[in-house]
């Protein structure tokens, strides 16, 4: 029974603890934790490094610097101008042909009417011969018409004279018949015949005069028409001959021949530019200006030229508004006298006055303006080791100076050389 009771005791639950066993420690766990910490620190450090502006390294030798200063802003434009003749006459070919003779050379001094060259044009020569033959034929016809007209006038005069004579005879006969009839020697019938004959002679004379006048009027009109035709042909011949005279070109005025390269044997056609004649007695200045000043440069503005220790006043006489390669042309004429010894092609510095002088904060003009559009500049630090990009507001540009409106103080130094190569860098590290 005890054995049975013992068998009836409750059996404790199975925990499985007898099956557990301790595993060996992982020798890589601790290094992995330290590697993760190191990676996190490196990432944080890199983020901090790139978040702080470090600057772009730039050699100082590559830079052009300028100092901001207060001074007088001269609102004028300085340009390199070329001396050109004040008056020029262009030489263009008026006829086509082959060059048979060239009588002048480029650079020669010419007098008005001097022969320059001769051309040959067989077609023009044939046209002259044809027109001459037509004029000669019509002149011969006109001579024949005039001869016929003169003959008609002579014939009419003879006819009128004969008929007048017959009329006179009829009048005399009638008077005799009337005298005889009064004495009773002639019958009334004979008297009537004499009257009828007189009346007939009068009618014949009147008719002859009327017919002759009509004929002469017609012949006169024919002669006048022929004269007009001959005159028209003669004028046409004169035009052709004048055109043919263009085969031998002459200088239209005194001056120096320039740009003349015509050679014997070459062919020219109407409109070909053969050269020009320059008036070397007076000159003007011609130059190109940046398109930035297109709206400010106008004709009539005062200008000046420094030469020979004197200032020579000029006036802007012409503005050529067509922009080419970012520049437009201007021409300036001397207001009164010219500097002595000027030569065509000589280059001189001229100034165009755009406005009155005024006090302003100034910065030297430079290539940075085009790169930044005048919106920002690089300003050097006090120790000249860095240059920081700064937004500024700039005004007028003239005579190599720019008016500073805001963003810069007097005494600060600015990079005025090209800055496009630095991209969007906010800070430059300057290396000696």
CATH T-level fold of 77-86+282-354 = Elongation Factor Tu (Ef-tu); domain 3 (2.40.30)
The predicted-structure confidence for 170-225, as pLDDT tens digits, reads as follows: 889 888 888 888 887 878 888 888 889 888 889 988 898 888 888 888 888 888 88
For residues 255 and 257, give the distance between their C-alpha atoms in angstroms, rounded to a whole number. Answer: 7
* Sheet strand arrangement including 393-398: 69-73, 358-364, 401-406, 393-398
Q: Kindly tell me if the per-residue pLDDT of 300 is higher than 70.
A: yes
Predicted confidence at residue 7, as pLDDT, reads 47
Q: Does 370 have pLDDT greater than 90? A: no
pTM of the predicted structure, to 2 decimals: 0.47
Cβ atoms of 374 and 292 within 8 Å: the answer is no
pLDDT for the residue 30:
57
Domains 56-72+359-431 and 96-119+247-276 share a fold: no
Cβ density class 249-287: b for 16+ within 10 Å, e for less: bebeebbbbbebebeeeeebeeeeebbbbbbbeebbbbb
Neighbours of 289 (CB within 10 A): 21
What would be the CATH architecture of the domain defined by 96-119+247-276? Beta Barrel (2.40)
- Among the listed ranges 53-57, 331-335, 361-365, which one has the minimum average pLDDT value? 53-57
Residue range 231-268, pLDDT digits in tens: 888 888 787 777 666 577 888 888 888 888 888 888 88
Domain 56-72+359-431 -> CATH class: mainly beta
Q: Do 316 and 299 meet the contact criterion of CB atoms below 8 Å apart?
A: yes
The domains of the chain are located at 56-72+359-431, 77-86+282-354, 96-119+247-276, 123-245
The pair of three-digit structure tokens given for residue 112, joined into one six-digit string: 């008005």
């Amino acid at each position: 029974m005890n054995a049975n009771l013992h068998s009836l005791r409750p059996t404790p639950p199975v925990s499985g603890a007898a099956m557990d066993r301790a595993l060996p420690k992982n020798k890589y766990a601790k290094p992995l934790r330290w590697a993760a910490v190191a990676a996190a620190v490196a990432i944080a450090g890199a983020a901090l490094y790139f978040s702080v502006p470090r600057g772009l390294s730039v050699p100082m030798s590559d830079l052009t610097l300028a100092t901001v200063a207060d001074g007088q802003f001269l609102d004028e434009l300085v340009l390199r101008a070329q001396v050109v003749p004040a008056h020029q006459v262009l030489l263009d070919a008026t006829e086509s042909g082959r060059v048979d003779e060239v009588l002048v050379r480029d650079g020669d001094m010419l007098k008005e009417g001097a022969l320059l060259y001769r051309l040959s044009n067989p077609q023009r020569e044939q046209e002259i011969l044809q027109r001459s033959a037509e004029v000669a034929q019509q002149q011969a016809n006109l001579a024949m018409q005039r001869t016929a007209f003169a003959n008609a006038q002579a014939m009419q005069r003879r006819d009128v004279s004969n008929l007048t004579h017959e009329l006179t005879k009829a009048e005399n006969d009638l008077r005799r018949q009337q005298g005889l009839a009064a004495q009773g020697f002639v019958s009334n019938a004979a008297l009537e015949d004499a009257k009828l004959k007189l009346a007939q002679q009068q009618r014949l004379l009147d008719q002859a005069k009327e017919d002759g006048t009509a004929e002469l009027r017609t012949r006169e009109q024919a002669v006048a028409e022929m004269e007009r035709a001959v005159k028209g042909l003669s004028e046409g011949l004169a035009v052709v001959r004048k055109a043919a005279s263009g085969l031998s070109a002459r200088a239209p005025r005194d001056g120096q021949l320039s740009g003349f390269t015509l050679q014997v044997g070459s062919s020219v056609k109407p409109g070909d530019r053969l050269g020009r004649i320059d008036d070397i007695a007076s000159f003007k200045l011609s130059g190109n200006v940046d398109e930035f000043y297109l709206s400010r440069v106008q004709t009539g503005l005062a200008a000046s030229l420094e030469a020979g220790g004197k200032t020579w006043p000029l006036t802007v006489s012409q503005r050529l508004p067509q922009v080419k390669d970012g520049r437009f042309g201007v021409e300036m004429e001397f207001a009164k006298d010219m500097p002595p010894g000027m030569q065509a092609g000589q280059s001189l510095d001229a100034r165009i006055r755009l406005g009155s002088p005024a006090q302003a904060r100034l910065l030297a003009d430079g290539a940075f303006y085009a790169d930044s559009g005048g919106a920002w500049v690089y300003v050097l630090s006090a120790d000249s080791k860095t240059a920081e990009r700064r937004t500024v507001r700039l005004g007028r540009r003239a005579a190599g100076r720019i008016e500073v409106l805001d963003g810069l103080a007097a005494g600060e130094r600015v990079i005025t050389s090209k800055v496009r190569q630095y991209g969007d860098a906010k800070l430059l590290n300057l290396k000696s």
